[in-house]
């Protein structure tokens, strides 16, 4: 699903950057997934800025003709295609054994990247939540899908944070065995919810485009 050669180019690029930059390709994949799971696309510059981490030389390399930029665009296209096809990203990128009791380190990094993207597009999602609630109000007797989606979205953010900070989550949980024993259920639920969020983002994007076309 993800072009391996492009991932290798990005990995080499990251190795050449400042050692204080803790972003890896799993963070990048998560960040791309989160940025794309929104009704408005913020542009490649936001992704380049996240990767470069205030390193102007690295940023410029990613934003101008280079093998690193080509790799970035290829991977971005791969993630876009997967979300349009409603692919289960986690199962494809980070498969776990049926007896797994914790997310892999790579999956933790992916979740951290996704949460970082939400901080970028949070305002757009809040506007979209208001739109969904207004639709609910117009069909109050028959429809509550908007509120259900919002509740699931918020639960998904909490689960992403739990996975991203798994050791801390275990320390803070009153019954840590509940998390470890139920990991696979949580993993499957998270994967399904991420597909739902990406699908809703695409639907909302279509709604906005239709409105803009009507307004001329």
Q: d(Cα 39, Cα 200) in Å, to the nearest integer? A: 8
In this prediction, residue 134 carries a pLDDT of 86
Q: Rounded to an integer, what is the distance from CA 118 to the centroid of its chain?
A: 7
pLDDT interval class at 67 (50, 70, 90): very high
* pLDDT > 90 in the chain, percent: 79
Round the average pLDDT of the chain to a whole number and report it: 92
In this prediction, residue 101 carries a pLDDT of 96
In this prediction, residue 20 carries a pLDDT of 61
pLDDT in tens, 133-187: 888 777 665 557 888 999 999 999 999 999 999 999 999 999 999 999 999 999 9
Residue 2 burial (CB count, 10 A): 16
pLDDT at residue 114 is higher than 90:
yes
pLDDT in tens, 19-50: 666 899 999 999 999 999 999 988 899 999 99
Domain over 1-216 is classified CATH 1.20.120: yes
Higher per-residue confidence, 208 vs 186: 186
Single pTM value for the model: 0.94
Q: d(Cα 190, Cα 180) in Å, to the nearest integer? A: 15
Q: What are phi and psi of 152, to 5 degrees?
A: -70, -40
pLDDT at residue 213 is higher than 70:
no
In this prediction, residue 155 carries a pLDDT of 97
Domain boundaries, the chain: 1-216
In this prediction, residue 22 carries a pLDDT of 84
Q: d(Cα 177, Cα 183) in Å, to the nearest integer? A: 10
């Amino acid at each position: 699903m993800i072009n391996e050669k492009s991932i290798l180019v990005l990995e080499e690029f990251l190795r050449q950057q400042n050692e204080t930059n803790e972003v890896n390709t799993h963070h990048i994949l998560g960040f791309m997934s989160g940025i794309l799971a929104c009704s408005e696309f913020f542009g490649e510059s936001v992704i380049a800025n996240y990767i470069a981490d205030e390193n102007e030389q690295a940023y410029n390399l990613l934003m101008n003709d280079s093998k690193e930029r080509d790799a970035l665009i290829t991977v971005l296209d791969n993630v876009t295609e997967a979300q349009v096809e409603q692919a289960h990203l986690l199962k494809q990128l980070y498969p776990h054994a049926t007896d797994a009791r914790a997310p892999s380190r790579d999956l933790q990094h992916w979740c951290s990247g996704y949460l970082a993207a939400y901080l970028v597009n949070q305002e757009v999602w809040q506007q979209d939540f208001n739109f969904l609630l207004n639709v609910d109000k117009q069909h109050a007797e028959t429809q509550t899908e908007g509120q259900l989606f919002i509740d699931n979205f918020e639960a998904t953010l909490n689960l992403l944070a739990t996975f991203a900070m798994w050791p801390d989550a275990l320390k803070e949980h009153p019954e840590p065995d509940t998390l470890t024993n139920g990991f696979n259920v949580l993993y499957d639920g998270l994967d399904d919810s991420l597909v739902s969020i990406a699908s809703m983002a695409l639907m909302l994007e279509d709604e906005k485009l239709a409105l803009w076309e009507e307004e001329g």
